[in-house]
Each structure stands twice: as C-alpha cells, then as structure tokens.
Structure 1
Amino acid sequence: AALPAAGPSSRLTPTMSDQTLDYFLSLMRISRRDAAEVTWAHAVNSRRKLEDTLTGPTHMMEADIIMRGCDPKEPIMAHPPDTDSDITLKEWLEEVKAHDKGIKLDFKSLEAVSPSLAVLEGVLTDLSRPVWINADILSGPGGQARPLEPQAFLSAATILPPRTVLSLGWTTGWTAGTDNPGYDWEMVHGMEEICRTVKNPVTFPVRAALLAQSFPQLRWLLQQSDRYTLTVWTGQNDSYTLQDFLPYKQEIDSSKIYYDLRYSVGVKIIFIEP
C-alpha cells in the first residue's frame, strides 16, 4: 500500500515502504519483524545452484546478471570475469516463478540493466514476492571499481513496480592489517541526495568490516526516510566481530537491518541482546 513519504524532502510524493518482512511473515517463514531472520543464498548463477537453492531453506536468492559475451546477446546469470552461463535470465526467472523465494539481482554494468528489467517485467507478473535490484552507484571507502552512473540506473529502474526494492551501494575496498576508513559524511549525504526523490523502498548494502567506524553516518542515513534499510554484507576474507554490530542492534529497529552473512553469523546476530 502507498504510504505518505517519511523523508523531510519528499513529503508530496507517495512512496512504498519495504514489504519483504511482511511477505515472509505472511508465509510464516519468519517469526517476527526482525530482518536478521531473513537468510540468503549467493551467486545463484547456474542451473545446478538454482535447483539446489530453490529446494533449500534460504529466503532470498542473490544472482548476478551480465550480457552474454557472444551471440546471441542476452542477459545471462554470471559474474565477471565469466562471459557465459548455462542459464539465461529468462530461464532463471521461469524456474523461480514456481517457488516462493525472494530475489536480488546484481548488476555490474549498465549494459545489462534495461534488457534485464524488460525480461523481469515480462516473466514475473506475480508482484507479491520480494524483488531487489542491486548496483553500486557511488564510490565508497577504499572503492577502486567504477560505480554505475546513478541517474542512468535509476532511470532504467522506473519501469519496475514501486514496491521493487532498490539496493543502492558504494564501491568499497578492505585490506587486512590496515586502518580501513568507514563510510564518511560526504558519502551518506551524497547517497541521500540521490535517493530522496526515489519512490521505491531503498536498502543500502554496507560492508560488515566497515560498520564499527560508520555508525553515526549510517544511523543518520536511516533516519532520513521510513523507506530506507541497511543490508550488511561481507567480503570473503573480511574481518569483523559481533561487537561491531552492537550499537546497530541497540539503537536501530530490528526491521531495518538485513544481514546477508554466513548463516552461523546471522543466527548469532539474532540473539545479540540490544
């Protein structure tokens, strides 16, 4: 349902809040409005992985989309440097239709966005399931990769239903044994400026190893709109502790932070006492 905008700068625009928890609660797949209960499967980019995940226990499936590197040029499920796959986006979505999983589609290039969203709109006519669309659109702490141009990505996404969650992140880097900077005020102000006119729910993917040094900035960002959530993710070799999450658990509502982490870590986070 449309809600009045919560942010100070978009009061006249009807906007959507995140429906993901409502969906899994309605299926009795989670027990309460705690985003830490939502579990994730990663890189579901092959037929085998898709088959295993669709019959497994996770709530949300994350997959990567690129344009095939040779003819026929079409959106396929693969992560660079791969240029081909045994499954196209259309085939992947046709399989997903028969199940109740939520999906998160990750884009590393603008080239794949418009063709993919046209396929998505054509295949997934059932609008109840959570659909998240992810891209890094700004440079963040230690980020070396080039972000996607924000307005081009958001413009392509306007064909999607307003309940679609836009997962809008920063490129980041992390190096063991060094003093890694967190998300600074310029980064969160820049992101808020881009997102304040967006009608969709927005989640900000944030790197677990950078949370401890970013709490004031990320708390401020969440306070700017009821549409906003965080999704905590981790690099394969990143180092962080459960203690890093404590201020977030103490001061931010549990419906506002998803934890896209290893299952064992996610379980421990649920039981951290605020």
Structure 2
Amino acid sequence: MAPKSPAQTLLEKADKKAASSSGWFSSSSTKFEEAGDLYQQAANSFKLEKLFKEAGDCFAREAECREKCKEANDAANAWWNAAKAYKRGYPDLAIQALTQTIVHFTQGGRFRQAADREKEIAQIYLQEQNDLRRACESYERAGDWYAQEDAIATANACFKDAADLHADLEEYPAAIARYEQVADHSLSSALTKYSVKEYWLRALLCCLALQDTVTAKRNLQRYGSLDTTFTSTREAKFINALIEAVDAGDPEMFTAAVVEFDQVTKLDNWKTAILLKIKKGIQEEPGLT
C-alpha cells in the first residue's frame, strides 16, 4: 500500500477535526477554526502536488468552516482560492466558487471586489465554455457594480465587452444602446474622448447589420452633433461609404470601401465578422444582384 501524501494526511486530520464533538473547554467555533486552518494547509499541499481539483475542494471546505465561524472575509478569501485552483481545468466549479465569493462581498457592501469576481466569471464563460449569453450577463452585472463604485473606466470596459457579445448574438439594438452608453460616458473626459469614434463606429455597424440605413444616417448625424470632429473622421467617412453601398445593393462597392479602410486601420475580428454579415445581407436582399 502506497504511503499517504502529506496533503492526504492533512485532509484526514481536517475531516477528523471538523467531525469531532466539541469538548468541555472548547467551543464549536474553535473546532471549525482549527479545521479550517487544516483544510487550508491541505489545499496548499495539494497545489504543490498539482492536484488542483483536490486543492479546490479543500479550499471550499475551509470556506464552509469559516462561514460556520461567521468569518465572512476569510470565507470569501477561501472561496476565491478555491476558484483559482478550480480554474485549472474545472470551469464549472470555478464559477460556483466565485459566485459564493460574490455573495459574501455583496452582503458586506464590497461591490468593487464583487465586480472583479463577476468579471472573472464572464471571462470563464467566454474563454472556457463559449457561453456568450452568460458571459454578456456577467459583464453587464460587473459593469453595474463598477459604476456604483465610481469606477467608470472599468465599468465602461465591461459594458463595451457586453455590447460586443450582444452583437455576436445578433441582438443589435441592445448592442447599440450599450455602445452609445459607453460613448456618452467617454465624451465627458479628455482622457477617454479619443475612443468615442470607435464605439460609434461599432454602433453604426450594428445598424447596418440590421440593414437599417435610415437609422444609421440619423445616428451618424446625431453623433456629429455630439462631437463636431466626428464627421471628418475616417470612421464616419467609412460608414458613409458603407451606407451608400447598402442603399445601392452593391456588394463590390461595399468590399472596395472595406478594403480601403483596412489598408490604413486594420480591422479586428469583431469588425470583420459583422462586415461579412452586412455584406451577406446585401447579397440576400430580394431584387438585388
């Protein structure tokens, strides 16, 4: 029989301590405090052995012990440590642990930290599970919490990520609303004003993905009234060229405008994907060739 690893020995000690009856001279909180310490040691020992599922399980048991001792901050920290271990191959468990962390943070009024963990959840949904819907919801929730805490730049980054995902899900009106929200916030600061043309470009591309050139023209005019420099930008001229191509039902004119823009400002994956959808819409328009 193989000898027990140090981590396994610590885990057994922790389980025994947690299951023991409280003696005459010790309270149950002391018992769980000691068990929590042992679970933490076992978790760290499992991490050394690169057994991340076992490490996460031990941190989760530690968190439960901290909760029994009414140590909310220590419990939140243990759940976060569990999540970090579970991230190494167990995304569902990582999300569960982060959700528990958020419960403690929101109950304690620590919304900035809750937002940080919610953003982590969004990234797991997106990168590990390709669940765009849930990633979008988590980005929006994180954005709301950051905004409450006056972390406006971080909130805007989350809302922009949510807008991109709304567009990927072909929820274009929701995407437009989020891009415009981020642009409005960015207009008010000299540091972020330069990025407004990017958000408006994305919002206008969403209009064209709906084949709605009327709204695109109206919004283009409105954005120009909010920032008079926008009308002369490459982004605004690009959108004008695309509107003209969509109205004419001319895929070649559309492609030429895209190629010309891309030569100076390289298109990212998001723009490339939505431009392909717009072009497909032109080609499928009845009566157009």
Q: Tell me the TM-score normalized by structure 2.
A: 0.28
Which of structures 1 and 2 has the bigger CA Rg?
2
More helix by share: 2
Structure with larger RCO (C-alpha < 8 A, sep 6+): 1
More strand by share: 1
